Structure 1
């Protein structure tokens, strides 16, 4: 009798670990290549419009202009000194240190607000479907407040927390909480009833159904919602910072507007875009790790 190895079963040789790694690296290289091509094409069109005189360099400076004087743009990032009365600006951080501090400040607000909104909204959404009384007491209010623009909550944030990190984090949280709660409820309602019926047939309790059936079933959709809300979190934190609740990239944008500095505007936009891109990439990698049981591309957005 001839026994087949694991690699030979089914008549198809399974790829080795090395081959799988090479395939993954090739896939990553292709994705990175197309990213470079896409961004490069956009920049090339922009440069061409400047070259033929269709883009005014004073209003729409091409990439080689606002990216060519990084040292000059970096000196505008020390917006934290505005909140310190009697402090000599020359005693503060260097321009490049100020860029790093500004990026870290805005990123921290986004991540903390997003984390709080995700944890609390998912918990509340599951609780609403788990307990009928919870649904009766909270769902009408959540539905009522969900359409309210985050900008409308800005005075509330200032009244409650004043100036600093807290109001910006609150703005991110409040902008995402209601929609993510409703998204959680929608995901729960869309779970295949057959999964729940099978669990009941096997004697699962209500708690076991939610922890071992419902939660794994809604996790792919919730991670997609989380990725989409990451972009929304960046939008909200910039609004909060621009209106004066804290220093950060939003304050730099506002400074550029007040001083009519288009180069600084686009330089900051590039930074924000890169941050959003890399954090989204990180969430996609985490999503693939967490959803290991799904085929590639399933339950994901991009």
Structure 2
């Protein structure tokens, strides 16, 4: 029997926040399927403070030691210079760019009344601007390629969260940023399809530095040798497929990925509707809304709500 061709053979992938957790798992999984990988990470702490080169370097070395191609990148992808150099690193080192996995992020959890505006700005900066700028610079390259007659088969995988889809108590800024990433994904998919670019998002649940306290109890009761449902590596196979040519035609979609489960998320769409054909009075509007709510599907609860 012939050996199957690796899913990402010949492709070059960039993964942000790839020094640890989900990003590291994605980088290793892409490399295992034949991709050459630019491993981006600032090496910051859980709250975004500090910085170190070792996490990205260690992952790149791990890929090279396994026979793959990888280079570390330490730029801040929430800056124009860092995002531009990220794309340039892929092109200068490997001669092409096929897949962008936006994954970088950190947390500064607070209840809204205790949330500092500096914390709000820091979290939205890394999640939203840190998705927008790499996407912008990669898209500019792919558009130029398409206009030059070299139509890409490019893929972007953005990272949202269940917090962005449902909300999460104590995570107002994180939830808002992750919800924004979904909207950015939908717009990018609509705008960039003409240039051969597909854009999708995942909402993963896995054990990382950001969630290890949440899943500590689950890990404590897991019998040795059983399936580690919260391992970040469980999410990466979907990311690899979405980052490959095999997912042709799939764009503008959001997937939840957790343990052995993959779910296509279905977002806002019209539910029950009332149309008076004229302007409502406030009392009429309230009566109509009450009737519509009685017919509507109940929303899922916000994470952490009681």
**Does the TM-score normalized on the shorter chain lie above 0.5?**
no
User: TM-score, normalised to structure 1's length?
Assistant: 0.24
More helix by share: 1
The structure with more radius of gyration: 1
